[in-house]
Amino acid sequence: MADVALEKNASVGKMWTKEKKIGEGTYATVFEGREVATGRKIAIKKIKLGQFKDGISLDAIREIKFLRELRHENVIELLSVYSAKANINLVLEFCQTDLEYLIKNKTLLFLPGDVKSWMQMTLRGLEFCHRNGVLHRDLKPNNLFITSEGVLKVADFGLAREFGDGSMKMTPEVITTWYRPPELLFGARAYSSSVDIWSVGCIFAELMLRVPFFAGASNLDQLKIMYSAMGSPTEAEWPNLKTLPDYVQLDFVPRKPWHLHFSAASPDAITMLKGFLAYNPNKRVSAKEALLNPYFHTSPYPTHPSKLPLPTPGTGVARILAPELNGQGQKHVLKDKKRKKGVDEDDEEDGEGSGTKKVARKLTFG
Ligand code: ADP
């Protein structure tokens, strides 16, 4: 029986070739490769073994588990998993770039319809995850991959997990700080899909501003920046606020009109943004509701993916992130030790924090 399994595994491995190295992730080295039968480009994520006490990082297990279950146009596709020479390899559809790179590449002009299109694709992918009971818990522009056809794919499910009725206890130490919602900054352990929606709001703001909207250096700094941009949350709008485990009283900041920050945004865009960035998680719009919002159904309509701005391969806009393009966000990730320390109460024995240091990456998308 074991021989049959080994043979099958070896034959699966032969379906793909590994060519050059294109990236270095938290728990894997990523290669560009090809499907032997068709010649189509693919990405192979070779999981680093041995550096974790139980052999394989929990991030890798999560990624395999969720990507095997989720199949959607706007979720990165896991084509195969095979082992070779004591390594585990994930075969993924190949992507050309990611949204962080596009945002930082100031040679690319974004039209309002382009922003709408990226937002719509993000929400479609996310709505599918939420409908299937999966929280992403690490949405940010560099986890939104873009194919050479301009299609956006939600990627990196290393911090994802199932969620239920909202009573389940989970770690608040998830989501990169700049995209982390106020309830997690205040230590909430029971939370829901609305945490991902806050991240979507931060991404939306960043697409309009071309810089991160709330770029705090710590949890407290993050809250202060949020308050100074949007005003303090009130108990009238968020009655349970003060009962959160790590609640801290900060100086009161009065509300500010949104158009101060987003002077070029349409009223529809502002309404949409307010729906994502509601302080009270229960008042945040869901992915499903957002997709029905007039913002997506009025002119200018979402740009067709094939018409979205993309750096053209081989024309000098290299996919290798130059230091000036790769500055703040990447440094932030490196500094943000907690980013990969997320350990849910029911996951604690997995020691997810151990050894999952984020490494600096070169992004080389062919
Ligand atoms: P991390 O664990 O740091 O989130 P990943 O392991 O997902 O990062 O990927 C590391 C790098 O490998 C990415 O930044 C990108 O350069 C490259 N990469 C990952 N997946 C793909 C893919 N499907 N297509 C093309 N390049 C990819």
Catalytic residue among 59, 98, 114, 138: 138
Tell me what the pLDDT averaged over the chain comes to: 84
Query: Tokens 């937002």 appear where?
Result: 119
Q: What is the mean pLDDT of residues 307-314?
A: 82
| Average pLDDT score over residue span 204-229 | 97
Run of H or E residues at 61? helix 58-69
Identify the residue whose C-alpha is closest to ligand 1 atom 1: 25
pTM, two decimals, is 0.86
pLDDT given at position 323: 30
Phi and psi dihedrals of 21, rounded to 5? Answer: -75, 135
Q: pLDDT band for 6, please (50, 70, 90 cuts).
A: low
DSSP category for residue 303: P
pLDDT tens digits for 142-168? 999 999 999 999 999 999 999 987 778
354 pLDDT above the threshold of 50: no
Q: Is the peptide bond before 311 cis (omega within 30 degrees of 0)?
A: no
**Which ligand 1 atom is nearest residue 138's CA?**
4
As a CATH number, domain 98-307 is: 1.10.510.10
CA–CA separation, 76 and 156 (whole Å): 8
Highest-confidence segment of 227-231, 312-316, 362-366: 227-231
CA dihedral (82, 84, 89, 94) in degrees, to 10, reads -90
Nearest to 222 by CA among 268, 172, 152, 296: 172
60: how many CB neighbours lie within 10 A of its CB? Answer: 23
Higher-confidence position of 199 and 55:
199
Residue 42, ligand 1, Cβ within 6 A: no
Q: What is the pLDDT of residue 3?
A: 61
Q: Please report, as a single letter, which amino acid is at residue 280.
A: N
Question: Strand 144-146 to strand 97-98: parallel, antiparallel, or no bridges (unpaired)?
Answer: antiparallel
CA dihedral 193, 199, 201, 207 (to 10 degrees): -140
Which range is least confidently modeled, 30-44, 255-269, 337-351?
A: 337-351
28 lines ligand 1 (CB under 6 A): yes
Give me the pLDDT at residue 168, please: 83
DSSP secondary structure string for all residues of 143-176: GEEE-TT--EEE---TT-EE--SS-S---S--S-
99 lines ligand 1 (CB under 6 A): no
The pLDDT value recorded for residue 10 is: 64
Q: Which of 14-28, 294-308, 325-339 is least confident?
A: 325-339
Write down the pLDDT at residue 347.
43
Spans of all domains in the chain: 98-307
For the sheet with 28-35, list strands across it: 16-24, 28-35, 41-47, 87-93, 78-84
Instruction: Mention every residue, 6+ apart, whose C-beta is less than 8 A from residue 327.
Output: none
The Cα–Cα gap between 149 and 154 comes to 15
- CB of 309 within 8 A of CB of 109? yes
The pLDDT tens digits for 246-272 are 999 999 999 989 999 999 999 999 999
